[in-house]
Amino acid sequence: MPEKKTPTLLSGGNPQIPKGDGPGPVRDYLGAMPGWKGDVGKQLDALIEKVVPAVRKAVRWNQPYYGREDGWFLSFRCYTGYVQVQFLRGTSLEPMPPKPSKHDEIRYLDIHENDQLDEKQVRSWLEQAAELPGAAL
């Protein structure tokens, strides 16, 4: 059996994972997230699965995407000092996630190493996001 290759880390420590559908590529991404960022990724993935049990998963552009059959509602990726959660229809969420984007509907939540994740707020955003029409990729 061939030895499994360790993924390359791109700028900011973001894992380079091949495009793929299903939980396998997302599991590979989570396993390749460096240090504390991996803990954040696993916490987000578990919360998403709990809030949206039938969630659809994929990796596109070296980041995991989560959605329903009609499209995607969330992704995240590693940067040097934080994990950035992207709510793809974030301007429709109440309250809007804190960080604006140059893209019309996207809003971000940046999670730094010593941040305490506000699970109640993130859960609310996930519930809202999963009910909106998904974004096409």
Integer angstrom CA distances of residue 103 from 8, 91, 137: 28, 10, 14
Label residues 1-35 b or e (16+ Cβ within 10 Å = b).
eeeeeebeeeeebbbebeeeeebebbbbbbebbee
Please report the pLDDT score of residue 136 as a whole number. 85
Contact, 76 vs 44, CB < 8 A? yes
Label residues 95-133 b or e (16+ Cβ within 10 Å = b).
eebeeeeeeeebbbbebeeeeeeeeeebeebbebbbebe
Note the pTM of the prediction, 2 decimals.
0.93
Residue 42 has pLDDT above 60, yes or no: yes
Please report the pLDDT score of residue 137 as a whole number. 75
Q: Which domains are delineated in the chain?
A: 11-131 (3.90.1150.200)
Integer angstrom CA distances of residue 87 from 8, 9, 10, 19: 26, 23, 22, 20
For the stretch 102-136, pLDDT in tens is 999 999 999 999 999 999 999 999 999 999 998 88
